[in-house]
Structure 1
Amino acid sequence: MSFTPRPDEVDQQLLRAVAGGDRAALATLYRAYHPRLCQFLTRLTRRTDLMDEIVNDSFWIVWQKAGGFRGDSRVSTWIIGIAYRCGLKALRRDGPDDLDSLDDDDLPATAAADEPAEQRELRDWLDKGLSKLSWEQRVIVELVYAGGHSLEEAAAITQAPVGTLKSRLFQARLKLRNLLPALAGDAAPLKENLP
């Protein structure tokens, strides 16, 4: 599932209102970002109770720090960065078991009721492939491909160097190119085209 980017001007207006103590503006941001954050957080954990806690903690920080937003990035980058750091903190507190241990049984049931079977099958196949990646690789794939963030924005979110993220993304694509055919029943792995 990918998300259509929201106009940053709208989010900036809402954030200014939140900085002024407007709870309705916070509720609007929460409703707008909740599905996106949950989708992103599935790459860190499959525990929905923990995801809800992370989203709530993130918006508590948004409420407290809205006045400190300097506009160095899009509001979405700022909010997802907060959720990422809250997620890592929660996982460290609850134990790192979640980070690299995603089994096929842990995959979320994200199919829409009216989604065609072919779309559902493709998404399930990709989710199985993503579950085989390290959590660092899953996060960068989610940010760049599903979230539509540039590598620079992903670097701001994860507070990691762009070069590190490029390497993780390259390794994730290489691993997926080798894993996905096997998951589809075709055991012939593909080779990454190197320059």
Structure 2
Amino acid sequence: MLRLVRNQTPPIPDKTATEVDEYALLQRIVEGDTLAFETFYKLYYPRLFRFILRITRQPDHIEELIQETLLLIWEKPERFNHSSKISTWVFGIAYRKALKSMSRAARSSNNLDVDEYGETIADPLANLAENTETQDWLNCALDILPADQRAVIELTFYHGLPYQEIAKILDCPENTIKTRMFHARKKLQAFAEAKGN
């Protein structure tokens, strides 16, 4: 049973990902600080939502996978061993849970309604019409990739992670990540040429 410890530390104000010291936040979670966990949750929820949606293509399971990922962090924050960034650790947990979910679903195909999730994953500063067209094209293009290649694309281009960190998240050698990226780019290039873009 999880034992909550009341902490006298003042609440952390809402800040952007770059302004929050994730290491201090995680230390407070280790101490049982629920306010620190709430801040951590708000910080990672949108990032995990987008990542899991892109990997699984299972919109019905996103909330469950986010909850499972963040619950594990709440229950066992001491598992972070400082051998990587906190984000690498969190995305690694989410990736493994997403793979298990996809396996359980036996790769049954779900049609993704981009409009339903567009507000969550879209860049609010981009031109709306252009962004919608780009998102539609990108979603179609990413559908042709297997989950492991989608993960590499997502972590590289949307989360800005280097191959070394992605290799830790996906639990494979860095050269495997490079190979997946190479094959993903070839498939996306062929898709673009076929669509006349």
CA drift at 1:93:
2.5
CA drift at 1:116:
2.2
Matches within 5 A, 1:25-174: 25-97=36-108, 101=109, 105-109=111-115, 110-112=117-119, 115-174=127-186
CA drift at 1:56:
0.5
The structure showing larger relative contact order (alpha-carbon pairs under 8 Å, at least 6 residues apart) is 1
CA drift at 1:120:
1.5
The two structures have a TM-score, normalised by structure 2, of 0.81
CA deviations over 1:59-89 (Å, ceiling 9, x no partner): 1110122123221111111111111111112
Structure 2 letter corresponding to 1:16: Q
Change (3 A) 1:70 1:9: farther
Change (3 A) 1:35 1:24: same
Unaligned regions of 5+ residues in structure 1, if any? 187-195
CA contact (8 A) 2:114 2:136 kept: no
CA contact (8 A) 1:8 1:75 kept: no
**Percent of counterpart pairs with the same letter?**
35
Equivalents in 2 of 1:91, 1:178: separation in Å?
Answer: 26
Aligned to 1:27, what secondary structure does the other structure show? helix
Structure 2 letter corresponding to 1:150: P
CA contact (8 A) 2:56 2:147 kept: no
CA contact (8 A) 1:155 1:161 kept: yes
The two structures have a TM-score, normalised by structure 1, of 0.82
Change (3 A) 1:52 1:111: closer
Tell me the residue number matched to 1:190.
Answer: none
Equivalents in 2 of 1:137, 1:6: separation in Å?
Answer: 26
Unaligned regions of 5+ residues in structure 2, if any? 1-15
Q: CA RMSD in A?
A: 2.2
Aligned length: 176
CA contact (8 A) 1:19 1:66 kept: yes
